[in-house]
Amino acid sequence: MAISWSAYHLRLHQRLLREPLLLPPGAQLLLAVSGGQDSMALTALMLDLQRLHHWQLQLWHGNHCWRQESEQQAAALAAWAKSKNLKIQIDSWANPLHTEAAAREWRYSCLEQQAKTEGCQIVLTAHTANDRSETLLLHLARGSHRRGLGSLMAQRQLCPGIQLVRPLLNFSRIPQGFVKHWQSQSGWIPATQINVLAVIESVMRCYQCWSNCIQVPHKEWLQLQKDLALNKKTMENYLISPLKLCRQMIQKYNAKS
């Protein structure tokens, strides 16, 4: 299922050669996948590089049970993984809480347990540089101590004996062209369309951080929600660069001042 060697393959491969302990050859890896663009791009890269590094790779998917279509998404991922002879564990949240903090705690708890069960020394997530920027802004807006501004780390201990690694943390969001090409080669078709509300909420979190930092009036970023809901092109721009739109809105506000 390998696709042509891309700049992203080369970049990740060279990093692993420079940092051999990040993802050691032959390691047992557990990769968290949502079915979205970033996690499937990481899956593509790991599968294509597997022949060079001889990892043992398996997948984990967490169904938060927040959306009606989440069961369909999980079933599609399970069917796709089976077609590629990839082992996948799907966990569903029995008593879901609708907060990001609770969801994050649940996911990492499940990943830790699955890694222990399968003997995986490393858990992978597909966080990118854009996720790191958003996390930094959230911490800054909340008045975090300077230690809290460290944002996401490329590697940390998940629990004794298991490392959490984010191989794409120095990548910006993977272009849709790369993902679409891989989808056509691998047979993966997302089970659902983009969740518009989720995208809006993510942008709003990021933009609110900027607003708090420079004291943009509340009504300015409320207007952004309306713009996002009505403007498909704006949505597409956000998916390419999650901070791009926020910066544009800040510039627009500063120009009016």
Domain count, the chain: 2
Q: What count of residues does the chain have?
A: 257
Joined together, the tokens standing for residue 120 give: 């995986």
pLDDT tens for residues 174-188?
A: 655 666 665 666 666
Q: Residue 149: what pLDDT?
A: 46
User: CA 31, CA 131: separation in Å to the nearest integer?
Assistant: 17
Q: 121 lies in a domain?
A: yes
196-214 vs 218-230: helix axis angle to the nearest 10? 160
Domain boundary among 166, 186, 206: 186
Q: Residue 101: what pLDDT?
A: 82
User: CA 181, CA 87: separation in Å to the nearest integer?
Assistant: 23
Do 160 and 65 lie in one domain? The reply is yes
Taking CA atoms, 139 is separated from 99, 132, 206, in Å, by 17, 11, 11
Do 153 and 207 lie in one domain? The reply is no
- Most confidently modeled of 7-11, 144-148, 252-256? 7-11
Joined together, the tokens standing for residue 25 give: 């050859």
* Residue 183 dihedral angles phi and psi, to the nearest 5°: -60, -40
Candidates 10, 64, 7; CA nearest to 32 is 64
Share of the chain above pLDDT 70, in %: 56
Do 103 and 205 lie in one domain? The reply is no
pLDDT reading at 248 higher than 50:
yes
Domain boundary among 135, 152, 186: 186
Candidates 10, 20, 31; CA nearest to 164 is 31
> 46: how many CB neighbours lie within 10 A of its CB?
20
Do 114 and 21 lie in one domain? The reply is yes
Do 246 and 164 lie in one domain? The reply is no
pLDDT tens for residues 36-92?
A: 888 888 998 999 999 999 999 999 999 999 888 889 889 989 999 999 899 999 999
Q: How confident is the model at residue 255 (pLDDT cuts 50, 70, 90)?
A: low
Q: Residue 220: what pLDDT?
A: 53
User: Which residue segment(s) compose the domain that 164 sits in?
Assistant: 7-186
Q: 2 lies in a domain?
A: no
**Could you tell me where the DSSP H helices lie in 84-175?**
100-118, 129-141
Classify 47 as helix, strand or coil. helix
